[in-house]
Chains A and B, each alone.
Chain A
Amino acid sequence: MSRLLPHPLLTLLLVLVWCLLINSLSLGTVVFGALLGLLIPAATAAYWPDRPRIPRPLRLVSYILVVLWDILVANVQVAMIVLFKPNADMKSNWVTIPLDLKSPEAISILAGTITLTPGTVSADLSDDGVALLVHALDAPDPEATGNQIKDRYERRLKEIFE
């Protein structure tokens, strides 16, 4: 089983992406997508030895929904800041986020999430990988911003990946 399907989730994702690329859901597309989904993970398994285990993949769906909602809300907030707040009043700040996550894939997703939600951009990782450097556009209280990110995203990612 594991030799035939080294990455079951990747197989599923490849079928989905193939159908979306072709933009149809005909039998031929699905079959060819399934073929690709079987061949590509088998051919690349050797090059990705420490692939992340995802114990609770379904929570990824709720995570994506939470992030999309936050993107919506944060967009409006940042639009207000950009349009109506003078530059001098903006308290742009660096925020250090100590990381509890260990898996590189999970940290990448966290950093990507932070950048996608407007108002914060992840800038750098500490050398030993235990802290993330984030720039916030308007954060009078950097510590609160950091805690919010930890509580909202990192906790969920920890549930998904670890």
Chain B
Amino acid sequence: MILDLIIVAALLIGGFFTLVGSIGLLKLDSPMKRLHAPTKAATLGVGSLLMASIVNAWAHHDGSLNEVLIMAFLFITAPITANFIAKVNIHRRDTRDPLPQPPNDDIWATLDTPPDRSDG
């Protein structure tokens, strides 16, 4: 009974944060700001849903822990996707706020491209 309540709570929390992630994707108004919304859905949203799955497996079945692995793989891969989208934004000079200057008169790695060859 108590375990069922925990499962329901975890499902609701997971659903809520996934929903907030989607709302953020709609509401926020610049590409870089939109990037923040999915990080919520991918961490606490999915994490909470997987937690519900683990509790359910231990309460009603043989028990299972490979959800932990899903979470671990997701936590490793999600930042890489976000990083790539951010890099594309920077590369296209599509950011609303200008980039700050890195220390030592250096340049951000994404902007360090060979000069444009207009070979149209």
Contacts and interface: CB of A to CB of B under 8 A. Distances in A.
B55 interface: no
Main secondary structure of the interface of A (DSSP, over half): mixed
A140 interface: no
Contacts of A122: 79, 83, 86
Interface string A88-129: 001011101010000000000001101110111111111110
Interface residues of A, number: 39
Main secondary structure of the interface of B (DSSP, over half): helix
B17 A75 contact: yes
Of A78, A83, A90, A111, most buried by chain B (CB within 10 Å of CB) is A78
Interface in A42-71: 71
Nearest to B73: A17
A23 B64 contact: yes
B109 A124 contact: yes
B109 A21 contact: no
A122 B43 CA distance: 16
A92 B109 contact: no
B68 A20 contact: yes
B110 A124 contact: yes
Contacts of B30: 92
Contact of A93 (B80, B97, B106): B97
B87 A137 contact: no
B2 interface: no
B12 interface: no
Given A75-B44, A111-B79, A126-B107, A92 B102 contact: no
A116 B83 contact: no
A36 interface: no
Interface in B51-99: 64-66, 68-69, 75-76, 78-80, 82-83, 86-87, 89-90, 96-97, 99
Interface of B: 16-17, 20, 23-24, 27-30, 32-33, 35-37, 39-40, 43-44, 47, 64-66, 68-69, 75-76, 78-80, 82-83, 86-87, 89-90, 96-97, 99-100, 102-104, 106-110, 112
27 contacts: A20-B65, A71-B44, A72-B44, A75-B17, A78-B36, A79-B16, A82-B23, A82-B28, A83-B20, A92-B32, A94-B97, A96-B103, A112-B79, A115-B79, A116-B75, A121-B35, A122-B83, A122-B86, A123-B83, A125-B108, A127-B106, A130-B103, A130-B104, A130-B106, A131-B103, A131-B106, A137-B36
Interface of A: 17, 20-21, 23, 71-72, 75, 78-79, 82-83, 87, 90, 92-94, 96, 98, 111-112, 114-116, 118-128, 130-131, 133, 135, 137
